[in-house]
Chain A
């Protein structure tokens, strides 16, 4: 473990962060920082963590010191892999996955084969971002490929599951969206009344199952 000083990146005069190796490192740092400095609300990216602060209440040196301390703790914290995956039941194709037929036709694959491949392995929520409750998951079978829709849909129903460029995305809330949709989760992915409203929170391992 080297005590090398991280290189900080400024977003603004009141927002600073660090680049890290990957999304897993970013999640570890954001989680650690949330524990150690609850007042600093970190924003996790795919290879970065940033914090915005009120210069009238704190200063940059205090923020960077907190990030540095959390960074060295995070390096020692355990990997996320130990957690068992959560199962999300999905209705594939049809009205719930209006782009599945097209995707399969382009891939020269049956819908059953697609579902078999999509449900065969665990996926990992790398990031919740882009829009409220949107889970961005790695672990997609390399054969399952689809490009973003040329014209995004004005409204994607809550619970919709899409794939694009090597990732699976889940829309926990209804929103506009440009991911081709392959299915829809049977159970809600968001519960506003819960203290942990997201079923698919960052770092969660997920297995999809046909409903």
Chain B
């Protein structure tokens, strides 16, 4: 026993390694919506980037420790309270048994990650502990955490170091995002005006946003054709254009195939930011060639690798 949930907030789930190897079942990958923030939280407690942690959505999370525990917090910055005293993100916290931890809603960003030394125990389904709620797979009983849930540690782990994430490695989320993106398979179906809007105008993140996808309001994107195509592969980061012309950027719980034109793909190096897009935030897509995106990826990976040697974007 490690932690008892007092309040789970809007949605809190256990997330770890994505569910690779099950696409023939049309199983989404799941895993953290912001893998970088989870890796940073895990680093504070000496854990590997994908060690199972709690993904907290828009704060409102409260829990009590059932044993002495080292924890690390990363991602969206809600105020953190430890027995009603302020506590920092980005630094290892050493909690005794019976300590109360509360995370308030963040002002910017969406998801905060709570990692513990030893990692959380979770149900493995198709080789992954990550929760995928629609199918009831993984995590804690295949569902979002609820008040009263008691979570176990995967492995006993004494961790007595206190680590702080360097300031230069802490992601900062605001009300506006710029995401690098490449053209995709059906980009050529966009009208010239729609293409210019996609890679020029600012979009607003809609309220219809979850771990499956982020809907974007703003310029209506028109297609040259009726947009009908045969269902084909989609991945997290792909931007689809449904008939209403309001694009959808797919996230970690994305389906494996879709029938809407794929008009762009957020660059691999920037996909972790999709997990922090909150309703009302402004988003711009910066057009990159594939070669530019790969060069950006190498540069960013090298930079992050100084602090997170095992992390892969």
Interface residues of A (CB under 8 A from B): 9-15, 17, 30, 34, 41-50, 52, 54-56, 127-134, 136, 173, 175, 192, 197-198, 201-202
Given A10-B185, A129-B255, A198-B25, A46-B231 contact (CB < 8 Å) = yes
CB distance from B176 to the nearest CB of A (A): 23
In the A-B complex, list the 3 residue pairs whose CB atoms are closest, starting with the nearest: A45-B232, A12-B265, A50-B233
Q: Are B28 and A13 in contact (CB under 8 A)?
A: no
Q: Which of A12, A14, A52, A132 is in CB contact (< 8 Å) with B26?
A: A132
> A60 to B290, alpha carbons, bound, how many Å?
11
Q: Encode contact with A along B221-232: 1 for CB under 8 Å, 0 otherwise.
A: 000000000111
CB closest residue in chain A, given B312: A56
Q: Which of B26, B183, B265, B313 is in CB contact (< 8 Å) with A15?
A: B265
CB distance from B227 to the nearest CB of A (A): 15
Q: Encode contact with A along B279-313: 1 for CB under 8 Å, 0 otherwise.
A: 00000000000110110011001000000000011
Q: Are A173 and B135 in contact (CB under 8 A)?
A: yes
Q: For chain B residues 212-249, which have a beta carbon within 8 Å of chain A?
A: 230-235, 237-238
Q: Are B184 and A48 in contact (CB under 8 A)?
A: no
Given A12-B235, A52-B235, A47-B25 contact (CB < 8 Å) = no
- Residue B134 lies at the interface, judged by CB distance under 8 Å to chain A: yes
Q: Are A132 and B28 in contact (CB under 8 A)?
A: yes
**Which chain B positions have C-beta within 8 A of A15?**
233, 235, 265
Q: Are A130 and B27 in contact (CB under 8 A)?
A: no
Q: Are B134 and A133 in contact (CB under 8 A)?
A: no
Question: Among A14, A133, A136, which residue has the most Cβ atoms of chain B within 10 A?
Answer: A14
Question: Among B125, B185, B255, which residue has the most Cβ atoms of chain A within 10 A?
Answer: B185
**Which chain A positions have C-beta within 8 A of B162?**
none
- Residue B24 lies at the interface, judged by CB distance under 8 Å to chain A: yes
Q: Are B232 and A46 in contact (CB under 8 A)?
A: yes
| A and B contact pairs by CB, cutoff 8 A, 14 listed | A11-B238, A11-B265, A12-B238, A13-B291, A13-B297, A15-B265, A30-B24, A43-B232, A45-B257, A127-B231, A131-B26, A132-B134, A132-B135, A133-B25
CB distance from A15 to the nearest CB of B (A): 6
CB distance from B51 to the nearest CB of A (A): 19
Q: Are A197 and B231 in contact (CB under 8 A)?
A: no
Q: Are B182 and A54 in contact (CB under 8 A)?
A: no
> A33 to B182, alpha carbons, bound, how many Å?
26
Given A48-B232, A127-B257, A129-B26, A11-B21 contact (CB < 8 Å) = no
- Residue B267 lies at the interface, judged by CB distance under 8 Å to chain A: yes
**Which chain B positions have C-beta within 8 A of A129?**
26, 231, 255-257
**Which chain B positions have C-beta within 8 A of A201?**
24
> A195 to B12, alpha carbons, bound, how many Å?
29
Question: Among B24, B238, B297, B298, which residue has the most Cβ atoms of chain A within 10 A?
Answer: B24
CB distance from B197 to the nearest CB of A (A): 20
CB closest residue in chain B, given A190: B25
Q: Are A47 and B230 in contact (CB under 8 A)?
A: yes
**Which chain A positions have C-beta within 8 A of B232?**
17, 43, 45-48, 50
CB closest residue in chain B, given A173: B135
Q: Which of B132, B231, B301 is in CB contact (< 8 Å) with A130?
A: B231
CB distance from A95 to the nearest CB of B (A): 22
CB closest residue in chain B, given A56: B312
Q: Are B184 and A10 in contact (CB under 8 A)?
A: yes
**Which chain B positions have C-beta within 8 A of A175?**
134-135
Q: Are A131 and B185 in contact (CB under 8 A)?
A: no
Given A11-B233, A11-B265, A131-B25 contact (CB < 8 Å) = no
Q: Are B125 and A43 in contact (CB under 8 A)?
A: no
CB distance from B232 to the nearest CB of A (A): 3
Question: Among A13, A50, A131, which residue has the most Cβ atoms of chain B within 10 A?
Answer: A13
> A14 to B271, alpha carbons, bound, how many Å?
12
> A198 to B262, alpha carbons, bound, how many Å?
28
> A122 to B262, alpha carbons, bound, how many Å?
33
Q: Are A11 and B262 in contact (CB under 8 A)?
A: yes
Q: Encode contact with A along B255-273: 1 for CB under 8 Å, 0 otherwise.
A: 1111000100101100000
**Which chain B positions have C-beta within 8 A of A49?**
233
Q: Are B257 and A43 in contact (CB under 8 A)?
A: yes
Given A127-B257, A131-B26, A192-B125, A43-B233 contact (CB < 8 Å) = yes
Given A11-B238, A129-B257, A48-B294 contact (CB < 8 Å) = no
> A133 to B23, alpha carbons, bound, how many Å?
10
> A166 to B21, alpha carbons, bound, how many Å?
31
CB distance from A124 to the nearest CB of B (A): 16
CB closest residue in chain B, given A12: B265
CB distance from B113 to the nearest CB of A (A): 22
CB distance from B164 to the nearest CB of A (A): 27
